[in-house]
Amino acid sequence: MTKPTFYAIDYGTSNSLLCGASQDGIFTDVVLDKSAPDPTILKSILFSTDSDHWVFGAEAIEQYIDQPGSGRVFKSLKRFLPDPTFKGTRVFSEFLSVPDLIAKQLRCMRERANDYFDADVRSVVMGCPAVFSQDAESNQCAFDRLEVASRAAGFDHIEFCPEPIAAAYKFRHQLDSEKIVAVADFGGGTSDFTILKMGRKEFKPDDVLALGGLSIAGDKYDGAIMKDIISPHFGSLITYRRPMSKNNMSFPKGLIRKLCSPADMLMLNRGDVLDYLRDAQRYITKDEDAYKIDQLLTLIEERQGFSLFKKIEESKIELSDQRESQFSYQYPMIDVEETIRQQDFYSASSQFTEDILACLDKTLNQAGLSSNDIDIVCLTGGTANIPTIKQGLVNRFQDRLALSEQFHSVVHGLADRAQMLAREA
């Protein structure tokens, strides 16, 4: 049996996938996580109980749930790539940079694929957003970090391919004539758009008419539910007054932003944050609010942020086709019950939807086209199912929407590109 000479990796904010490729063919359905509902999908989650013990995906979730207070869990690490202010974090006795942490998952994927194929593959086509950041330096920082992580994982030859273009590689096989296609990839961390000419012929770089994207996607919508609906249960609206002061104080906006980010929440178990919360609790203006700070301290100290956001994500999914969701989260010293109405979710996330659709319109404008000029819109990624986004797409493109494979279209397209490179090698 021919073995792959390239891997194609879709390293995502929420999910990661891998395919193989050689000049003779493409190898799909690579098993990365035998414990997962879909074993070809490895959740982008890491868990460690000591410096030498790291687990990933379904096993990471299972061990975290079994022993939440005894280890470190990491989620949505991809969102830190373009953030030069976040250098890394100390894990037990070792400081690990952003590339160090991401390399652990990429190395896991490479080693599992090598075992699966009985091969030693050192070339990779790595998926990336169309734009990591609108800031040029931050955008370059993200690519530099992802390259460092890929090399640390064991890859010597690395080529980046924008994820929406990868989805186009896969989608072109479904066309019978040349079309003007818009590819919209809505993930967990970024929303990316590509406008291009596409047919069954081999894809060329000058077929791309415009690229656009922004760092707003599924995690931001989870954060909107947290900010407007759930965080008041954890004291986000409390006020406190220090002795000898006449002014009431409230939570710093920076802290609230971190509480509303699935990735940042997991980094809050620091002495300065905990000291601040205990200090605020001492001087709270309403005694009946003290329990809210207790709930927040427990949430942070017991590292329950991952579990809480998992419940929030479940409610978000329910709100795609239900008028309300009954949110419930219990843990010792935490008890939150809340009815989340669909309309409240829409209101909380309206700015994100406006920004995403505005970015799409800007990308069309860069291509010199209007929505009426687009023949087909290829949609991929779970965030495309949010009703307000879907309605915005329908308003622009009517019945020209084509839903591609939710999770696999990008990695299959990356494998298509990898096979082209293998033939050129």
Closest CA to 42 of 26, 28, 50, 30: 30
d(CA 390, CA 393): 5
Instruction: Report the pLDDT value the prediction gives residue 403, as an integer from 0 to 100.
Output: 72
At residue 70's C-alpha, the angle toward residues 86 and 252, to 5°, is 40
Percentage, residues of the chain above pLDDT 70: 98
Q: What are 129-150's pLDDT values in tens digits?
A: 888 888 899 999 999 999 999 9
**pLDDT band of 406, cuts 50, 70, 90:** low
Is the pLDDT assigned to residue 349 strictly greater than 80?
yes
Q: Which of 162, 268, 170, 257 is nearest to 212 (CA)?
A: 162
Fill in the DSSP letter of residue 194: E
Query: Nearest Cα to 78, choosing from 70, 90, 86, 67?
Result: 86
252-263 average pLDDT score = 90
pLDDT digits (tens, 9 = 90+) for 172-230: 777 778 889 998 988 888 898 989 888 777 667 788 899 898 989 999 999 999 999 99
What rounded mean pLDDT belongs to the chain?
90
Residues 6 or more apart whose CB falls under 8 angstroms from that of 256 comprise 227, 231, 236
- Summarize pLDDT for 104-128 with one digit per residue, the tens: 999 999 999 999 999 999 999 999 9
Distance CA 399, CA 371 (A): 12
Phi/psi at 73 (nearest 5 deg)?
Answer: -115, 140
The string of DSSP letters for 391-423 reads: HHHHHHHTT-EEE--TTTHHHHHHHHHHHHHHH
The answer to whether 165 touches 183, Cβ cutoff 8 Å, is yes
- pLDDT at res. 229: 97
Residues 17, 4 contacting (CB under 8 angstroms): no
Q: What is the pLDDT of residue 69?
A: 65
Q: pLDDT tens digit string along 58-93?
A: 999 888 888 766 788 898 899 899 999 989 998 888
Is the pLDDT reported for residue 378 higher than 60? yes
Mean of pLDDT values over 262-282:
86
Spell out the domains of the chain, with CATH numbers in brackets. Answer: 6-164+408-424 (3.30.420.40), 177-217+349-403 (3.30.420.40), 219-344 (no CATH)
pLDDT at position 1 over 60: no
Cα gap 32→29, rounded to integer Å: 9
String of DSSP letters for 122-169: -EEEEEE-S-S-SSHHHHHHHHHHHHHHHHHTT-SEEEEEEHHHHHHH
Alpha-carbon distance 375 to 151, whole Å?
A: 40
Is 186 within 8 Å of 379 (Cβ atoms)? Answer: yes
pLDDT at 82: 93
Q: What is the pTM of this model?
A: 0.84
Q: pLDDT value at position 66?
A: 80
pLDDT of 295-339, one tens digit each?
A: 999 999 888 888 999 999 999 999 999 999 999 999 999 999 999
The token pair at 328 is 């419930």
